[in-house]
């Protein structure tokens, strides 16, 4: 499940790598005038690539949420099918017991047994639904928090890129050598990329999700134990009525 929620850090990290590659390839000559004269074209390519990668990132994020919703819907459908099956099994069992009942006391015991089992089923179902709802709510919150922080990190990354780009114009005006301009840009891009990667990695919801899964499993275990105890008590009372 965790794979669904994982942010694609690789895609984001490729931003800076692309910038450096495109910039360094823009001019094979170590001449500031040529580099600076071509800078507007390079800048446009960088801006276009940022938009392209950002759109791709948002699309993947939306697809992950859609996939998660579809998976939960599928799980809900299977759970509902099992509940209907359990109801059918109980009805069949009650019908079979009634064919064996020969006294009013036995028939009353069967009716009581049916009520007890139905109550136990309903109690378990309500408890399970609540556990699942809490689990999914916590998962959504963790994902939303991660996305919010990731979005802020991407914005900060873009600000760093824009700042580095602005410096290019200043350096060109001051006749800074092409080699120094490239080195300054490379250093700024690497720092921006590292900051982005570290921020997103630090907010990986995997630990939180695993904690929620453990908590939910423990709660489910308690609910199932209570359900088994209720069924066992109902069976004992029914058996005594037929002795």
For residues 174 and 177, give the distance between their C-alpha atoms in angstroms, rounded to a whole number.
Answer: 9
For residues 8 and 16, give the distance between their C-alpha atoms in angstroms, rounded to a whole number.
Answer: 15
242: three-class secondary structure by DSSP: coil
- Could you please report the per-residue DSSP string of 164-181? HHHHHHHHHHTT--HHHH
pLDDT one-digit tens code per residue, 132-155: 999 999 999 988 888 888 888 888
pLDDT one-digit tens code per residue, 209-225: 889 999 999 999 999 99
140: how many CB neighbours lie within 10 A of its CB? 14
Q: Which domains does the chain have, with CATH numbers?
A: 2-241 (1.20.1270)
Question: Which residues, 6+ apart, have CB-to-CB distance to 162 below 8 Å?
Answer: none
Is pTM beyond 0.85? Reply is no
pLDDT at 74: 96
């Amino acid at each position: 499940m965790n794979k669904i929620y994982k942010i694609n850090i690789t895609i984001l990290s490729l931003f800076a790598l692309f910038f450096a590659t495109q910039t360094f390839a823009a001019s094979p000559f170590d001449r500031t005038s040529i580099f600076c004269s071509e800078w507007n074209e390079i800048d446009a390519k960088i801006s276009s690539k940022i938009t392209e990668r950002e759109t791709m990132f948002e699309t993947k994020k939306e697809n992950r949420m859609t996939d998660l919703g579809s998976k939960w819907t599928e799980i809900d459908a299977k759970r509902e099918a099992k509940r209907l099956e359990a109801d059918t099994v109980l009805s069949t069992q009650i019908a079979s017991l009634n064919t064996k009942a020969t006294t009013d006391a036995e028939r009353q015991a069967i009716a009581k047994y049916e009520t007890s089992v139905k109550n136990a089923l309903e109690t378990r179902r309500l408890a399970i639904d609540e556990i699942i709802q809490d689990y999914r709510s916590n998962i959504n919150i963790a994902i939303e928090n991660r996305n919010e922080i990731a979005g802020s990190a991407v914005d900060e990354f873009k600000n760093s890129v824009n700042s580095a780009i602005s410096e290019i114009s200043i350096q060109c005006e001051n006749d800074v050598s092409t080699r120094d301009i490239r080195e300054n840009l490379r250093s700024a891009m690497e720092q921006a990329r590292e900051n982005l990667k570290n921020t997103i990695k630090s907010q990986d919801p995997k630990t939180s999700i695993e904690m929620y899964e453990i908590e939910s499993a423990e709660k489910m275990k308690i609910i199932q134990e209570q359900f088994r105890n209720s069924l066992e008590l109902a069976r004992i009372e029914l058996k005594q009525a037929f002795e």
